[in-house]
Structure 1
Amino acid sequence: MNLGITVIRSRHSVRKYKSDPVEEKIIKDALDCARLAPTARNEQPWLFGTVKDPEMLKKIADLADHGRFIAGAQVCFAVFGKRDATYYLEDCCAATTQLMLGLQAWGVGSCWVAGEKKAYAEDIRKLLNVPDAYTLVSLVPAGYPEEITIAKKELLEDITFEGRYQLGE
């Protein structure tokens, strides 16, 4: 089997983390994967932050309505997009995915926590002292998995079509 496909298929959302710290090399590798994501017109309209301080992780967790588990992560990545870039959302989503796959390749679990259009996005931007030119797209808490819950996924044949979609396929 192809190594890249194995990494992609093995990635699952992880919300419970061991207390072992994530090595700096892994953090840098994951960020490097994120920065290499494809972007419209090669704009690269992003800014990536990392938070490891437990008090700051708790503050982020308290702000994120579905991210209370961020407090238990060893690191949380924050992906910001340049507000005036036409495709910042698509570009930053591609970067978030590559960030998570970069972590998975090292055996580090993560979970995508929404930022775009969330009421807390501006509060987190201010908390992290990010310039107003950027908006929060995603938070990615990460750490070595204490527990992995595998969600049921749709079967490929139930969600694909070839050529043109035919009702009743």
Structure 2
Amino acid sequence: MNTMNLGVTIIKSRRSVRSYIDKPLSDEIIKETLECGRLAPTAMNLQPWLLGVVTDRDLLKKIADFTDHGKFIAEAAACFVICGDKNAKYYLEDCCAATMNMITCLQSYGVGTCWVAGDKKEYGADICKLLEIPEPYSLTSLIPAGYPKEVKVPSKKPGKEIFFTNRWSPEEK
């Protein structure tokens, strides 16, 4: 049976996008993206996150300037900001789940994204200060978002090199 599955199609079509056309995101897309982040799975239902969005051009430029590999954030229509409560044992896993939910939501609207790291990055504290994020929260991830100017398709490892059932056995491949 070969049936089309919308969720699988959305996930398989997602690519990292680092160049955007000059077109804002609608309030509906922003609201739904934040809502999808809020509904992410979370250990013990702690929901140890603050989820925000930056659309102000000056703030986007400042965030971009702080990053080491996110200079393109300055040209995004928006940048979603995911911060985690460092006192929660699984804040990183929970915030990564929220990040992926948000990226998938944006892809479903045809909005391009690129996950920009925050956790363990020196600039995280600067961005939190800029956005007035309170302690004990720290930056987990940034999601610059916008309508793609171009989409590059990177090569991925073939399944036979990375999949396994029950136990890893490279001889079976």
Question: What is the CA–CA distance in structure 2 between the aligned matches of 1:100 and 1:166, rounded to whole Å?
Answer: 33
- 1:112-151 superposed Cα distances (whole Å, 9 cap, x missing partner): 0000000100000000000011000000000000111111
Question: Could you say which residue in structure 1 is the equivalent of 2:142?
Answer: 139
Instruction: Tell me the secondary structure at the aligned position of residue 141 of structure 2.
Output: strand
Query: What is the aligned length?
Result: 169
Question: Could you say which residue in structure 2 is the equivalent of 1:108?
Answer: 111
Question: Could you say which residue in structure 1 is the equivalent of 2:80?
Answer: 77
How far 1:168 sits from its partner (Å)?
3.6
Q: In the alignment, does 2:166 pair up with 1:160? A: no
Could you state the TM-score of these two structures normalised by the residue count of structure 1? 0.98
Question: Could you say which residue in structure 2 is the equivalent of 1:125?
Answer: 128
Question: Could you say which residue in structure 2 is the equivalent of 1:26?
Answer: 29
How far 1:167 sits from its partner (Å)?
4.5
Could you state the TM-score of these two structures normalised by the residue count of structure 2? 0.96
Unaligned runs of 5+ in 2: none
Question: What is the CA–CA distance in structure 2 between the aligned matches of 1:50 and 1:162, rounded to whole Å?
Answer: 40
Question: Could you say which residue in structure 2 is the equivalent of 1:40?
Answer: 43
Shifted more, 88-97 versus 148-157: the winner is 148-157
Question: What is the CA–CA distance in structure 1 between the aligned matches of 2:139 and 2:159, rounded to whole Å?
Answer: 32
Question: What is the CA–CA distance in structure 2 between the aligned matches of 1:35 and 1:89, rounded to whole Å?
Answer: 15
Q: In the alignment, does 2:78 pair up with 1:66? A: no
Question: Could you say which residue in structure 2 is the equivalent of 1:99?
Answer: 102
How far 1:161 sits from its partner (Å)?
1.1
How far 1:13 sits from its partner (Å)?
0.4
Question: Could you say which residue in structure 1 is the equivalent of 2:16?
Answer: 13
Instruction: Tell me the secondary structure at the aligned position of residue 22 of structure 2.
Output: coil
Question: What is the CA–CA distance in structure 1 between the aligned matches of 2:27 and 2:86, rounded to whole Å?
Answer: 29
* Identity percentage of aligned residues: 55
Question: What is the CA–CA distance in structure 1 between the aligned matches of 2:130 and 2:56, rounded to whole Å?
Answer: 13
Question: What is the CA–CA distance in structure 1 between the aligned matches of 2:171 and 2:78, rounded to whole Å?
Answer: 46
